[in-house]
Structure 1
Amino acid sequence: MTSRLTLITVNANVLAVQTVNGEHVGNLKRIGEIWKFKAVGYSADGAVEPGGGPLTGQHNTVFVSPDADAVSGRLAPHL
């Protein structure tokens, strides 16, 4: 079964992407007319690691819109 990801509004151009357990795994960023997934990880001491985390391989995945079902369908299988 595929995990469901949630999108949480940060501002008009950024949405945080979280797992069902509340783990922040990246952000969707609006760049012009498209949305790109930007993977995020955290070091052992809690420092942010841009491009890191469990979805590193999906960094820069493009989406037409910030649709939670589409994001889950494409990203969650990689968790």
Structure 2
Amino acid sequence: MNSLTLTCVNANVYSVHLADGSHIGNLKHIGTVWKFKAVGYDHTGSIEPGGGPLTHLHNTVLSAPDVAELHAKLGAGVVKS
């Protein structure tokens, strides 16, 4: 499984990255829940909200910005290249 990492952006947003540093989404505190927001990039480098390798997991709810829970809920969904 590819390793996923979290980087704090601010109190309500964490960026989610693959082991190689590729940005694949954000974990956002929305209301009372944390939601994974998938992102991808097109051929020009423009962001594609809801895209990328975890598009099928867009809006997955997590209880907190926790790496273990992130791996449990998203890790198996990482498409290996």
TM-score (norm 2): 0.92
Q: State the Cα RMSD in Å.
A: 0.7
Which ranges of 4 or more aligned residues in structure 1 deviate by more than 3 Å? none
Which residue matches 1:43?
42
User: Which amino acid counterpart does residue 23 of structure 2 have in structure 1?
Assistant: H
Could you say which residue in structure 2 is the equivalent of 1:55?
54
| Structure 1: gaps of 5 or more residues | none
Indicate the percent of aligned positions where both proteins have the same amino acid.
53
Report the counterpart of residue 68 of structure 2 in structure 1.
69
Q: Hey, what does 1:9 align to over in structure 2?
A: 8
Structure 1 residue 3, shift from structure 2 partner: 1.8
For these two proteins, the number of residue pairs brought into alignment is 78
- Any gaps of 5 or more consecutive residues in structure 2? none
- Using the size of structure 1 for normalisation, the TM-score is 0.94
In structure 1, how many angstroms separate the alpha carbons of the residues matched to 2:2 and 2:72? Answer: 9
